[in-house]
Structure formats: C-alpha cells, structure tokens
Structure 1
Amino acid sequence: MTCSKTDEAPNLPEILREKYDRLRQIITRAGDAAIGFSGGVDSTFLLKVCAEILGELGERLLAITIKSEVIPANEVNSAHDITETMGVRHIILKENVLELPGFVQNHPDRCYICKKAIFSQIKKRAELYGIRNCFDGGNIDDAADFRPGRVALNEIGIRSPLAEAGFLKSDIRVVSEALKLPTWDKPALACLASRFPYYTEITKDALKQVENAEAFLEKLGMYIFRVRHHGILARIELGEREKKILLKFDLCTKIVKHLKNLGYKYVSLDLEGYRTGSMNEVL
C-alpha cells in the first residue's frame, strides 16, 4: 500500500507539510492501528489521519477509550461522539484504577501504574481484533514534562506516531484547525488524579469533588483552569483570560459557595495561575 499526497490539510507551512506526510507514511507502513483514544487534541488528530489512510480497510482501525474514576464522564461521551462523526469503530473499556496496587497511595510512579494497566488492556483488546499496532497520542512536548507513564508505554510496545513524525503540540493544533477538527483549540486534558499532590491519598469521593468543581468553573465560562485538591482546601489555577472573567463578573462568591457545598472548607486562587504539571514541582 502506498501513501499518496493529500489535500485534506491545505496551505500548511512546508515544515508542517513534511511532518504531516511523514505521519501518513508511518501509519501507512503500520497497516493497522488501535488508538488509545481520549478525544483530546492529540488523539483526535491522530485518529483523523488514521481514518483517512486505514478507513478503506475497515477492520484495520479501532479507537479504544478507557472509562474510569479519573476520567470525567463528559470526556468519554465526547470521545464517542467524535468516533461516530468519523465513522470509526469505538470500544469503551472500564478500568477500576483505584483498585490497582499502589495507585491510591499516589506516589510519583502513579502514572506508570495507571498507564501500564490501561494500555495493557488496550493491547489485549487490539490483539483480539487481529490488530498488531497500538498507538497513543504522545507528542514531542511530552518529553519535557515528568511523564513516568511513557516508560510504561515503551515497555509494552505502544507507539507514538505523532512524536515519531516530529509533531509539537502547537503543530498539532495548527494542522487540526486546517483539518477543521473541533478539538483544535480544546484545552489540554489530564486525568483527575493529576489534581492531587503526590503522597496524598486519592479517593473516589475526592475525585468526584474535583470533577464537580471543575464542571462548575466550565459552566461559568472558564476555559483554561485546574482545581488542585489539598484535602479541605481547593487551590484554583486560572489562565489569564479566566482571571479577567473572575474579576469582571465578580464570580468569587459563587465559586466559593459552590466548592464549599462540595465539601471544601477553604477555596484559594493561585496567583501564579494555570500551568501544566504544577503538581510535579514537589519532585
């Protein structure tokens, strides 16, 4: 099977066109793919390109989404909607991550424990469908952060075609916009467990607290934010736009009232603002 040029992503800068064509070649050579699909920016872009190349083969492409306590329910539903729009087979698998040995204790290897269990399950399901290649949406920027989960993926043979093709996160957004993908400007996703400082026990009730708190902020029009869980204290990180919304519409009282109703005793605003991986700063 040969990989032909595509006009699906018009008017790309030459360097992005080269990366895009390289990605298509990687997927073409693979011949099949089971994608760990979250419905975020990266995995949606990867699924789109895989669907273009492998879609004609029908049974050679599979999107697999994990449903667990650390993934907001609306994200699972959104992932399913995307696969339906693309016409890609989609399977939702349940993983009780709180039952994984060592997970709730929340040591720095938590992500390793979780990723190994999740992608081992994805790989086994792919094998049942006769699919040899398992992909995740990792990109070049992921190497700059503390990501023990990537070690687990390497150990069990999960490939990251976006990283292999040289894609940065910013590249993925640019090409996703050219492809008219609805996720091109979607905020970065991270599981709810990332809201807890290391060595703080992760419980089902606390995860629900965080999920409900963040859902409320989103309802208020927030886009870039995190609610970090410190026991009885909720520490809110906001993007620059969100800080302005907070002040313009005097939302502090509403937010404090809602989060206290969820069980928090104190609600604080982090003056440093939103930043990815802020819980890794203790390492």
Structure 2
Amino acid sequence: MVAEKLNTLRALFAEMEQALIAYSGGIDSTLVAKVAHDVLGEGALAVTAESPSLMPEDLEEARQQAAVIGLRHHIVKTHELDDPNYANNPVNRCYFCKSELHDTLKPLAREWGYPYVVDGVNADDLSDYRPGIQAAKERGVRSPLAEVGITKLEVRQLTQALGLPWWDKPSQPCLSSRFPYGEAITVEKLQRVGRGERYLRQLGWQALRVRSHGDTARIELPPDQIQAFVAQTDLPALVAAFQDYGFTYVTLDLEGYRSGKLNQGLSLAAAQS
C-alpha cells in the first residue's frame, strides 16, 4: 500500500515536469523534495524561508539535508512579523504566515519558470486546524502528499525506506507555535523560546517544546520522560539559564508534550472566525 502511494507520488511529479518546493527542512517537505528530485532532477528546486521564527540550526539542517539529497536549494527571507495580522497572533496566525510565504514564492516560481509550487502538507494535516492550508490553496499551491493520501506515519515509513537518515526526526513547527493565541509575538520572544529549547536539546532532550506564557516558560516533554528529566536535570541551573534568557518563571507541564496542544482551547466558532 505504501509502495503504491510512492509510485503514485512519483507519477504526480512526472506530470509536473518542474516544481518549486516550499522546503522547511521538516520531514514532510523533505520527503516531497527527495521524491521530486529523484523524478525531476534539475527540474526540482527547494526553497527555504528564513525568518526569526526559524531556529538557525533548523536552517542549517535544511541545508545539510538538501546537500545529502543532491537537491538544488535556495534561501529567501520572509517578513511575516512586519504584518500586524501575524504579530498579534490571532487564531488564524498561520494563514498570514503562509500568505507571506507563498506571496514570496509564487513570483519566484513565475520568474524562474516553475509552473508549480508544492508544499509538505500530508493527509493527516487536513483533519487538524491548519488555516495556513487555506492560504496555500488560494495561491494555487499543491500538496502532493495530501493528494496521494500519504499520512504522517507513512511519511516516516517512506523516508526510512528511501534511506534518508532523518526518518525519525521530531516534528519542529515554527517557533511562533509556542505562543498561546492572543499573545503578541516579537523577535525577542522568539529568540528566548529558541534559546530555551536549544538549552534543553544540549542536555539530551529532543522531543520537546518551550511554550511562552507572558513571562513564564512552560516546558513540555513526552510523559514517559518527565520523571527522568526531573531526576537528571540540574533544575536550579536550568531556571537560572531561562531567567537569563528573559523568563521570570519556569514550569514543567505534568501532562506532557502533545502536538497542537495550544489548539485545545479553541472553540469551533473561534476556529472558523
């Protein structure tokens, strides 16, 4: 079944002949980029958006992965924080993020002769609250994984089957996803969240989030790692580091990490507004 979907994905790219890939370096867009490159060769171009909401190490990983694949790779700057509709962090913040992204990529695609812009949206994303998907659709962006019906689990299976070493890479959405809706986002806030997550990863913890709630940092880890984290971490040193980054309080979420957790407070009415 998964092999059949891979063949269908390859056939989809063969029909395109040329494609510009919105490439974040995450596992979804990297699979899209890999298959596009395998089918189209020089007809595939990956473009990564550099902005304050992307950690520098994630940008470097995107570069390294593109090099491993042999993929043509270009970096552009986006300026979503200049838009108050984004910086004020409404429930549809991602709509304005993807609007900025694709309003940047579409002219490049036209200028460079690429008839298609594609992204890494997978079939599971369609069942979550993802206002950015609407922004992409409005601009004619295609989502090959979703079109073929490839789920997040199948993305990992295919990435592993294709021999890519990052098949188990944790999901890493943009840093703006660390803020509850309604809390304004600034470069300084993004930087302190990024520093907090970098600190924890350097201690050996990988699947995590540092959520920002005003002056409070809320650390999320997988539930089965919480006890080990408390036992093994120098908590006073951690608190001192986070306070140095600009937080006043540091907390640990006892429920643990869950993707999309900040969406749980959204009512259907808010999500549709």
TM-score per shorter chain, which class? over 0.9
Distance 1:253 1:144, change over 3 A: farther
Q: Distance in 2 between matches of 1:108 and 1:145?
A: 13
Letter in 1 for 2:237: K
Q: Distance in 1 between matches of 2:236 and 2:156?
A: 35
Q: Distance in 1 between matches of 2:168 and 2:234?
A: 25
Matches within 5 A, 1:270-281: 270-281=253-264
Q: Distance in 2 between matches of 1:224 and 1:81?
A: 21
Q: Report sequence identity in percent.
A: 39
Q: Give the alignment partner of residue 102 of structure 1, picking from 85, 102, 110.
A: 85
Aligned partners of 1:100 and 1:114 also within 8 Å: no
Q: Distance in 1 between matches of 2:227 and 2:48?
A: 35
Q: Structure 1-normalised TM-score? A: 0.91
What residue ranges of structure 2 are gaps of 5+ in the alignment? 267-273
Q: Give the alignment partner of residue 53 of structure 1, picking from 17, 39, 45.
A: 39
Name the SS for the 1:228 alignment partner. Answer: strand
Whether 2:164 is the aligned partner of 1:181: answer yes
Q: Give the alignment partner of residue 202 of structure 1, picking from 173, 185, 204.
A: 185
Name the SS for the 1:46 alignment partner. Answer: helix
Q: Which runs of 4+ in 1 moved over 6 A?
A: none
Q: Give the alignment partner of residue 75 of structure 2, picking from 92, 96, 111.
A: 92
For the aligned residues, what is the CA RMSD?
Answer: 1.2
Per-residue deviation, residues 35-54 of structure 1 (Å, max 9, x unmatched): 00011111111111111100
Per-residue deviation, residues 127-169 of structure 1 (Å, max 9, x unmatched): 1110001110000110222100000011001000011111110
Deviation of the 1:87 alpha carbon? 2.0
Name the SS for the 1:103 alignment partner. Answer: helix
Q: Distance in 2 between matches of 1:255 and 1:182?
A: 31
Q: Distance in 1 between matches of 2:111 and 2:97?
A: 22
Per-residue deviation, residues 43-70 of structure 1 (Å, max 9, x unmatched): 1111111111001xx2x21100000011
Q: Give the alignment partner of residue 24 of structure 1, picking from 6, 10, 34.
A: 10
Aligned partners of 1:40 and 1:183 also within 8 Å: no
Whether 2:217 is the aligned partner of 1:234: answer yes
Q: Structure 2-normalised TM-score? A: 0.94
Q: Distance in 2 between matches of 1:251 and 1:138?
A: 39
Q: Flag the structure with higher helix content.
A: 2
Aligned partners of 2:226 and 2:254 also within 8 Å: no
Structure 1 window deviating more from structure 2 (87-96 vs 240-249): it is 240-249
Q: Distance in 1 between matches of 2:36 and 2:229?
A: 40
Name the SS for the 2:87 alignment partner. Answer: coil
Matches within 5 A, 1:121-160: 121-160=104-143
